[in-house]
Chain A
Amino acid sequence: MAATLFDKIWDPHVIADLGSGWSLLHCDRVLLHDLSGGRALREVGEAGYAIPHPELAFATPDHAVATTPGRTAESFPKGGELIAGLRKRAAETGVRLFDLGQDGNGIVHVMGPELGIVLPGTTLVCGDSHTCTNGGLGALAFGIGASELRHVLATQTLPQKKPKRMRIRFEGTAPAGVTPKDMILHAIGRFGTGAGTGYAVEYAGSAVRALSVEGRLTLCNLSIEMGAKMGMVAPDEVTYACLAGRRFAPKGAAWDAALAHWRSLPSDADAVFDEDLLIDMADIAPQITWGTSPEQVLPVTGHVPDPALAADPIRRAAYEAALSYMDLKPGQPIAGTKIDWVFIGSCTNSRIEDLRAAAAVLRGRKVAPHVTAWVVPGSERVKREAEAEGLDAAFTAAGFEWREPGCALCVAANGEAVPPGARCVSTSNRNFVGRQGPGARTHLASPAMAAAAALAGAIADVRQFAA
């Protein structure tokens, strides 16, 4: 019977049928971070359970680490306690830890693919909703809560209900200025922030095939902002070339065996999806969010919507609340809106290709004097690679601050925040109320769009800043 990529990974991972649609699913990999990892390891032990497979878990501090140059674990004291806890518990349980300053350290969803921990056809969980990022390599990866995380550490399994299958096909060639971030923001704007709830989403089509692995990771990263806790792209030659030789990727005969398995994973041509959606790349322009939900997004040439035009009262109220929080007027062009901050980073857009794209826009130009601009590489390895290429110099010459890896201003859990009332163009994934700090106003965009905004000192169309 014809099967989808999702079914081909899910079905063989079912250990037991638990009844009423529930399966006991094997988890091949677990990623841990400072915010919940140390506590989960501790709580499992305190409850009297063992951790049977520490070799399948990988930990790194990212959420609550300061990103100031020269930082240490203690630079943000509350985070320092969390990191100390993670170090202690990882050492006790034998879980591998990639500590600050070491190769492998970084944002957990940058680390996983970078080290070859995430492999096609595997299941992977982490106590972070952006775990869906890792689906870009053809893995079934999803975020879980603290209690589920304890369960996985103690049993290497998770009771889960099988989601429905959705496919989103992007067909055609990317127009000028359109990046993977614009593709997924456009999809969320079109289908809504709850469209993927209860689904595992497969991204397909000629435009997805044309993406690098990094682009696919960005695409899958925002699946959760559409409500889908799993997003994935079928593996292909691009995936295999990216994985070959990575530290925890199989080698030699094991690689050949893995490759044979991976080649069987793509959805069969006649596989059926519960929902099958199509996007024409020609319809996508560079995107920028205007509100406080990722679905509140516009082409950069667009105008802020008028709540009076929304028929549904709950939707109208949401628009009004968003406009008030964001201090925008109905009908105003979004381009030209003055900004105060730019943040390039996060598990969405902090990989080397993201930094190259932003630096290409910045070279030979200067950030507007009133703008504070930060670039936070996604990992120690990205940072070193960027420095070897001279990207750090390109950023600092333009007026950006070049910082240490971490989640930083995406989640503002590390003592760093966008000030109240300040407007920030950010390459992260959430424009929620208070996400980047109490009162902070967030506009989500691609790295190139963020760079263009930094130069203009206002929301700007990257196509006017051709590199």
Chain B
Amino acid sequence: MEKFTKLSGPAAPLMRANVDTDLIIRIQRLVGTGRTGLGPYAFENLRFLPDGSENPDFVLNKAPYREAPILLAGTNFGCGSSREGAVWALMGAGIRCVIAPSFGDIFHNNCFQNGLLPIALPEDVVKQIAAETEASQGARHTAIDLVRQVVITPEGAEIPFSIDARKRDAMLEGLDDIALTLRLKDQIEAWQKADHAKRGWVWDSVKF
């Protein structure tokens, strides 16, 4: 996972509710591709017009937001499919933080596996950051400080956000979940042994 501590840049407002992971990355782009190289395909259905030309009205096609590392969105961002490619595509497009009122559960977990920071803030606060950013036509930046757990808006207001302590620590240090869990290998095996004694049918019905 990529470490995350601080970030500053324009926050691109995509103030739309229920942005699903199909919209973030089309499934066709994930057939036979890896974790990298998906950036150009992020939001393909919004970014391009049917004739293949860029849609000038789409926020990430507008000059100040092309390199935006922060995305502002409506409720339930990342709902739908479990495809982790949605996170890979956003990160490939340079986005390291999404601020929205709420997130799809599976997408939310996938973010933390890769170092994309999802920050949940009330809708009026997200709208405020969007308004402040738009007032400066994207010239004024939003800053994120994960250590202090604050968002600093373009006008300089400090807004605290809450984040799961375990996820925060893993993100600050770029930790690998599997290695952490395998420290508990003995405990896992003891649980499995005891479970086999109690629920033999779970194990015996599928043994080779």
Nearest chain A CB to B35 CB, angstrom units: 8
- CB of B18 within 8 A of CB of A193, answer yes
Among A145, A225, A228, A420, the most chain B Cβ lie within 10 Å of the Cβ of A145
In the complex formed, the residue of B with least CB distance to A261 is: B199
Whether B53 is near chain A, meaning CB under 8 Å from some CB there, is: no
Q: In the assembled complex, which residues on chain B have CB atoms less than 8 Å from the CB atom of A250?
A: 201, 204-205
- CB of B177 within 8 A of CB of A159, answer yes
In the complex formed, the residue of A with least CB distance to B20 is: A432
Contact flags B55-92 to A (C-beta < 8 A → 1, else 0): 00000000000000000001110011111110100000
Nearest chain B CB to A230 CB, angstrom units: 9
Q: Interface residue count for A (Cβ, 8 Å)?
A: 83
- CB of A128 within 8 A of CB of B208, answer no
Whether A144 is near chain B, meaning CB under 8 Å from some CB there, is: yes
Residue in A128, A251, A411, A420 whose CB lies within 8 Å of B205: A251
Contact flags A324-362 to B (C-beta < 8 A → 1, else 0): 000000000000000000000000000000000000000
In the complex formed, the residue of B with least CB distance to A115 is: B206
Whether A438 is near chain B, meaning CB under 8 Å from some CB there, is: yes
- CB of B184 within 8 A of CB of A24, answer yes
Residue in A26, A151, A430 whose CB lies within 8 Å of B178: A151
Residue in B16, B114, B188 whose CB lies within 8 Å of A318: B16
- CB of B182 within 8 A of CB of A154, answer yes
- CB of B105 within 8 A of CB of A229, answer yes
- CB of B191 within 8 A of CB of A26, answer yes
Q: In the assembled complex, which residues on chain A have CB atoms less than 8 Å from the CB atom of B26?
A: 434, 438
Nearest chain B CB to A261 CB, angstrom units: 7
- CB of A248 within 8 A of CB of B80, answer no
- CB of B164 within 8 A of CB of A145, answer no
Nearest chain B CB to A154 CB, angstrom units: 5
Q: In the assembled complex, which residues on chain B have CB atoms less than 8 Å from the CB atom of A116?
A: 205
Among B45, B81, B113, the most chain A Cβ lie within 10 Å of the Cβ of B81
Nearest chain A CB to B160 CB, angstrom units: 17
Contact flags B87-119 to A (C-beta < 8 A → 1, else 0): 100000000000000111110011001100000
Nearest chain A CB to B141 CB, angstrom units: 24
Given A144-B109, A151-B181: A248 in contact with B205 (beta carbons within 8 A): yes
Q: In the assembled complex, which residues on chain A have CB atoms less than 8 Å from the CB atom of B201?
A: 119, 250, 254-255, 257-258, 261
Q: In the assembled complex, which residues on chain A have CB atoms less than 8 Å from the CB atom of B84?
A: 145-147
Residue in A128, A194, A228, A420 whose CB lies within 8 Å of B82: A128
Whether A220 is near chain B, meaning CB under 8 Å from some CB there, is: no
Q: In the assembled complex, which residues on chain B have CB atoms less than 8 Å from the CB atom of A28?
A: 202
Whether A56 is near chain B, meaning CB under 8 Å from some CB there, is: yes
Whether A211 is near chain B, meaning CB under 8 Å from some CB there, is: no
Among B83, B87, B103, the most chain A Cβ lie within 10 Å of the Cβ of B83
Q: In the assembled complex, which residues on chain B have CB atoms less than 8 Å from the CB atom of A49?
A: 178, 182
Task: State in angstroms the CA–CA spacing of A29 and B206 once bound together.
Answer: 10
Quick check: which of A77-85, A97-105, A167-175, A366-374 contacts chain B, the rest being far away? A77-85
In the complex formed, the residue of B with least CB distance to A119 is: B202
Q: In the assembled complex, which residues on chain B have CB atoms less than 8 Å from the CB atom of A444?
A: none
Given A47-B178, A250-B201: A314 in contact with B23 (beta carbons within 8 A): no
Whether A321 is near chain B, meaning CB under 8 Å from some CB there, is: yes
Whether B207 is near chain A, meaning CB under 8 Å from some CB there, is: yes
Q: In the assembled complex, which residues on chain B have CB atoms less than 8 Å from the CB atom of A109?
A: none
Task: State in angstroms the CA–CA spacing of A21 and B167 once bound together.
Answer: 11
- Interface residues, chain A, CB within 8 Å of chain B? 15-16, 18-22, 24, 26, 28-29, 35, 47, 49, 55-56, 63-64, 78-79, 81-82, 94, 116-117, 119, 121-122, 127-129, 131, 143-148, 150-151, 154-157, 159, 161, 163, 193-194, 197-198, 224-225, 227-229, 248-251, 254-255, 257-258, 261, 293, 295, 314-315, 317-318, 321, 411-413, 420, 430, 432-435, 438-439
Known: A55-B207, A81-B32, A197-B103. 15 other contacts (CB 8 A): A22-B166, A28-B202, A55-B206, A55-B208, A129-B80, A147-B84, A163-B105, A227-B104, A227-B105, A229-B105, A248-B205, A314-B15, A314-B17, A434-B45, A438-B50
> Sorted from nearest, which 5 A-B pairs have the closest CB atoms?
A147-B113, A145-B110, A145-B84, A250-B201, A146-B84
Q: 25 A–B contact pairs at CB < 8 A?
A: A16-B184, A16-B187, A18-B166, A19-B165, A35-B30, A55-B207, A55-B208, A119-B202, A128-B82, A145-B83, A157-B188, A159-B166, A197-B105, A254-B205, A257-B200, A258-B199, A314-B17, A321-B16, A412-B27, A413-B27, A430-B20, A430-B81, A433-B23, A434-B22, A438-B50
